[in-house]
Amino acid sequence: MSESFDKGMQVRREVLGNAHVDRAEAGKTEFDLPFQTLITESAWGTVWASDRITRRERSMLTLALLAATGNFEEIPMHIRATANTGASKGDVAEALQHVAIYAGVPKANHALKLAKQTYAEMEESEK
């Protein structure tokens, strides 16, 4: 594989955790292999690997963009990733307030609901 793929896989594991990445890798097929390679190289090996902003900031941006664009399916995954990126619950709440003002209250409201559910699941699994 390429250098950006290797870096992307490293960053992906650091942010999302080995268990998540292992499940995703196990589900990979010939059909989605090109797509999985693309996101590993570009999203993780280029964007998330950049040190121009912190992973905390990148987490907040990602969650806000997911909510603003209505891509709610990935919000729980990125909420769980905050345990590795340093974005606090307060950071996430602030980011989602921006979503409410600039992209709409319903989107922010739904994202907050998903964040609350995911944080509750995370806290329950820590017990």
Same domain, 45 and 58: no
**Of 59, 126, 54, 51, residue with least CA distance to 91:** 59
Domain that holds residue 29: 1-50
Q: How confident is the model over 49-101, as pLDDT tens digits?
A: 999 999 999 999 999 999 999 999 999 999 999 999 999 999 999 999 999 99
Same domain, 26 and 77: no
Whether the predicted pLDDT of 127 surpasses 90:
no
Same domain, 85 and 103: yes
Residues contacting residue 12 through CB under 8 Å, at least 6 positions apart? 21, 40, 44, 48
Residue 122 token pair: 């995370």
Provide, rounded to the nearest whole percent, the portion of the chain with pLDDT above 90.
Answer: 97
Supply the CATH number for residue 122's domain.
Answer: 1.20.1290.10
Q: What's the pTM? A: 0.93
Same domain, 40 and 72: no
**Of 49, 58, 51, residue with least CA distance to 2:** 49
